[in-house]
Amino acid sequence: MGLFAGKKGLILGVANDHSIAWAVAQQIMAGGGECGFSHLPDRPDDERQRNRRRVAKLTDDCPEAKFLVPMDVSKDEDIQAVMQKAKDEFGTIDFLLHSIAFASLDDLKGDTVETSRDGFKMAMEISAYSLIAVCKAARSIFSDQASVLTMTYFGGEKAVPGYNVMGICKAALDASVRYLAYDLGPQGVRVNAVSAGPVKTLAGRGAGVEEMLLLYEKMAPLSRNITHDEVGQSGAFLLSPSASGITGEILHVDAGYNIMGSPGRLLEGHQP
């Protein structure tokens, strides 16, 4: 019997095979879980349906992937449609993975002080408020002892140059985890986050991941970067019954980088 045998839930935010959400989903499905997936809607003029095709290439050959539907988290009707689909397919859900964030490149690339008002609103709505929105919509279909997981980053705890407005969004997301854990606790629903170190993803390219990979390798206590599989395993653990006593937590999967108070081995070979 796998860890997720008989469990059913939603995976929100897979973009392609490099997505952390896909790494988590693979662990869940390998453990016997059944998943419904969402994808970013395609533009009406995109006849090739690129967003759907990228995800369908992954899910079409997985018997445990039960459906794939579009969802724009800035639209309540889209969120409700996904939850209705999950209710029709599963009845109730045992897990929900939220792996969604966005900010315009103009705001990401510029100094935080130059963030536009409209850009800030959009980034915060999609990257932070969306967790609240999907939890609210899913509340009536959560099973007893269901689990919610979102993906955050250390830039929400400390200033990380280049992460800019997204760091502010992640700080709001981190706080949302704690308050949602409190609100949903009496229902038996747990809410946690994984704070992953840099990995090569579609979102990571916009946040300067190549430079971060070099830095983490030099500074992290394990003297290396993490892998998609490591994040996937940790995320699946928090969504599983094995983590039944854990809620409101942020689990750092970053080879220990977050514990460092100095550059550590990065200074080796340099004269003081």
* Backbone dihedral angles phi then psi of residue 86, each to the nearest 5 degrees: -65, -40
Residue 196: beta bridge partners? 253
Count CB-CB contacts under 10 A for residue 91: 10
**Cα separation, 253 vs 232, whole angstroms:** 10
Contact (Cβ atoms closer than 8 angstroms) between residue 73 and residue 79: yes
Active site residue 163: yes
Active site residue 216: no
Q: Which of 129, 163, 179, 257 is catalytic?
A: 163
| Own/partner long-range contacts of 207-214 (Cβ < 8 Å, ≥24 apart) | 207/108, 207/162, 207/163, 207/166, 208/162, 211/162
Q: Which of 153, 179, 182, 216 is catalytic?
A: 153
- Start-to-end C-alpha separation, the chain: 56
- Kindly state the DSSP code that residue 41 receives in the 8-state scheme: P
- Surface-to-core class of residue 42, CB atoms within 10 Å of its CB (0-12 exposed, 13-18 middle, 19+ buried): middle
Any idea which residues carry the catalytic annotation?
153, 163
